[in-house]
Amino acid sequence: MRILFAGLMASALAVGGFSVAQAADAVDQVPQAPVAEETPAPVNNWQGFYLGGAATYNAGSFGSDRNTYDWGGQLFTGYNFQQGQIVYGAEADLGYGDADVTQGGIKNKTGWNGSVRGRVGYDLNPFLLYGTAGLALADTKVSDGTSSDSKTAYGYTVGAGVEAFVTNNITTRLEYRYTDYQDKDYNLNSGSVSRGFDENSVKVGIGVKF
C-alpha cells in the first residue's frame, strides 16, 4: 500500500512539474508588443550657395506727398555660412520696378534696381529669421514732355524677413525692405530739378539651395 501511495505521489509531482514547465515556456513564448521608435525631425543646414526669384509690391515717393504703387520682380543669389544656430552671409539682387508719378508737370519714373547686402539670421529649423542691410542702386528718369534725363541713384536698403525649407533644398521667403535713394539733379528743357526716391517693398520669393 505504501509503495502504491508513493508511486501515485511521484506521478502527481512529475505531472505537476511538467505542467509548470509548460506554463513557463508558454509565458516565455508570448511575443512582446512592438516598441515605436521615435524618428528625429530632419535638421536642415543653411550653409551654401543659393539663388531664386521673388515678386515684389512697392510703395514709393519721389520726395513729395504723392505716392506711387507698383508691382515688380527680382532675381537674387547669395551664400550662407552657419555656426550653430547663427546664419550669416552676403546676398545680391537685380530687379525691375515701374514706379511712375507726375507732379508739377514733371514725370518721375524708376526702372532697373539692385542691391548688395549682408544677411544675419537665427535658425529655428525649418525657419530662418533674418535681418539684412546694404547698398542699393536704381535707374531713374525724369521728363517734362519735351525732354528727359536719366540718372543712376544710389542709396541704402534695410529690412527683415523669414525663410523656410519646403524640401531639403527648396525654400520660400517673405521679406520687407525699406530703400532710400539719394537726391539727383536732372537737366530738362524747362530747367533743372532735384529728385530723391524712397520705397517700401514686400517681397515673396522661392529659392534653390545647392
pLDDT at 56 over 80: yes
Q: What predicted TM-score, i.e. pTM, was given to this entire model?
A: 0.77
Alpha carbon 185 to chain centroid, angstroms: 38
How do residues 82-109 score in pLDDT, each as one tens digit?
999 999 999 999 999 888 888 878 888 8
Within a domain: 17 = no
Within a domain: 36 = no
Residues 97/198, Cβ–Cβ less than 8 Å? no
Q: What is the pLDDT of residue 44?
A: 82
pLDDT at 141 over 80: yes
- Domain range enclosing 102: 49-209
Confidence of residue 63 (pLDDT cuts 50, 70, 90): confident
Within a domain: 13 = no
Within a domain: 58 = yes
Within a domain: 147 = yes
Within a domain: 8 = no
How do residues 21-39 score in pLDDT, each as one tens digit?
454 454 455 556 666 566 5
CA angle 63, 66, 70 (to 5 degrees): 100
Query: Number of structural domains, the chain?
Result: 1
Within a domain: 42 = no
